[in-house]
Amino acid sequence: MENVLEARVLGRILRASTASFTAGCRTLEADLPVFGSLVQAERSDGSAIYGLIHDVRVDDDPFVRQLIAAGDLTDEYVEDQRQRRQVPVEVVVLVVGGRGRDGRIFHVLPPQPPTTLSWVAVSSADEVRQFGQQLTFMRTVLNAVEAPGDELLAAALRQIAAVQGSSDLANAYLVRAGQELARLLGRDPMRLDSILQRMR
């Protein structure tokens, strides 16, 4: 829980599998993480599972249906209903690695998914930088079936580059990531070019 308090809490696990998990949060706010953000699901043993946000779902709420049918609503009433939703906003995450109890970061799928109601937090800039040092997570994202892998990878790489400390370091990171992409997608130049365009 200490690690969660240091980071910004997003919500709690609603459901999970080895390859993905869904966190529930109360409402969408301007400062909540965006598509491609690195988040972490905390485990009781001090380890964590890392993932990239690839979808946000705002399902309908029975009360909202009634309110829409009622007609004109004041801004205050709308804001109150957004804050008191009966159905959580769902943030869907692709698992890309984790952090062991010893603090070491790994870039393979964890042996077990996070448990229901575990905390999910936005990873700090330092953790994003550490996670992004190794580029082996890129293959997991490119091969994802349940996520738009090309778009997700480009967004994640841009965000990792943004926390490198300077524009020169950010550019150097994107060049290194582009070289790794060229190695992984050498036989698919159209897909490679499409991702490289999105990384700019």
For the stretch 54-81, pLDDT in tens is: 999 887 777 777 766 666 777 776 776 6
Decide if pLDDT at 1 tops 50.
Answer: no
pTM over the 0.75 mark: yes
CB atoms within 10 A of CB 120: 30
Q: How confident is the model at residue 5 (pLDDT cuts 50, 70, 90)?
A: very low
Q: What is the pLDDT of residue 58?
A: 82
49 Cβ contact partners less than 8 Å away, ≥ 6 residues apart: 21, 40, 41, 43, 95, 97, 98, 110, 113, 114
Decide if pLDDT at 2 tops 60.
Answer: no
CA distance linking residue 77 with residue 75, whole number of Å? 5
CA distance linking residue 193 with residue 200, whole number of Å? 11
33 Cβ contact partners less than 8 Å away, ≥ 6 residues apart: 10, 39, 53, 91, 122
**What mean pLDDT value characterizes the chain?**
88
